[in-house]
Amino acid sequence: MHTKPKSPLSSWTSLTGCVLAVTLLLDAALSLNGLVPEQAALFPNAVAALESRASDVLPPGIALAGFVSGIALALTVIMLPMHHVYRSREARLLQERERLAAQNARLVHQAASDGLLGIANRREFERVLKLEWRRAARERQPLSLLMIDIDCFKLFNDTYGHQAGDTCLRGVADVLRTAAARPGDMVARYGGEEMVVLMPHTSVEGAMRMAERIHAMLAERALSFSASPVAQHVTVSIGVSSMLPVRNANRSVLVQQADEGLYTAKESGRNRTATMPNLRLIAPEEEPSLGSHRAQA
């Protein structure tokens, strides 16, 4: 037996009837509970007819509960997709924020690093030196610095070429990173073939031991340099400076004394370490202000 399919017109009529019926029931329920004035009812005659039978057919409490339940259901149907959309958008925003944070971290690292050697650049060294100087002054701990220069590096470039010179610089920087592996130690490129190692909480004796270790590791690495007048491998000269920093003192003295030690090491024949015998704790130009501060204290 074949059933005749319903026409679109009959389906539309049925849907319209359902909508009108639901509207009538809601309007009647609201009018019965006083939520909508009788004059404002959409179908006042229908509402009046229902009122006479409302107590038997649809008690007011049940009508109100049904109405509230319908509103809650409608809100749930509307808000649930919106919640899913919000959660999805929030997840995308979180991923984008993490991506931007990682990109920003990479940019900060690139700005603080030497592109060739992969160690800190001079700007980052000066920033960290300022922080470590203040910390050492606050904790009353020594701060040491090694100033390192590759011996006869110009001759190395002239002999092997600039690409080999870059390889030599990277090799020395790798040795310094391996030697200065303690937390807090910092290896940086100061300029050209000069590098520095900043060592917090390190006395002059500890700095000298670090310099000896660098010499030994370079000799073990044996980067070939047959034209060198010093040795058959790449060598470095090292100047050592160690101080007990004082707050508001001139931290550049630490660098100046390490540079003076480096000059002495080069003048003494290279491939060695030198330090200034008399270590000044503060810069001369800072003494008057520090003295007046102590007098006030």
Interaxial angle between packed helices 44-57 and 8-32, expressed in degrees from 0 to 180 and rounded to the nearest 10 = 70
Measured in degrees and rounded to the nearest 5, phi and psi for residue 290 equal: -70, -35
Active-site residue identified among 38, 51, 90, 193: 193
| Token representation of residue 79 | 């808000």
Task: Identify the sign of the CA torsion 252, 255, 257, 263.
Answer: negative
d(C-alpha 62, C-alpha 70), whole Å: 12
Measured in degrees and rounded to the nearest 5, phi and psi for residue 182 equal: -70, 150
d(C-alpha 287, C-alpha 294), whole Å: 10
| Among the listed residues 102, 275, 284, the one whose alpha carbon sits nearest the alpha carbon of residue 203 | 275
Catalytic residue list contains 132: no
| Among the listed residues 134, 176, 147, 150, the one whose alpha carbon sits nearest the alpha carbon of residue 257 | 147
Rg (CA), the chain: 41
Would you name the residues annotated as active-site residues? 193
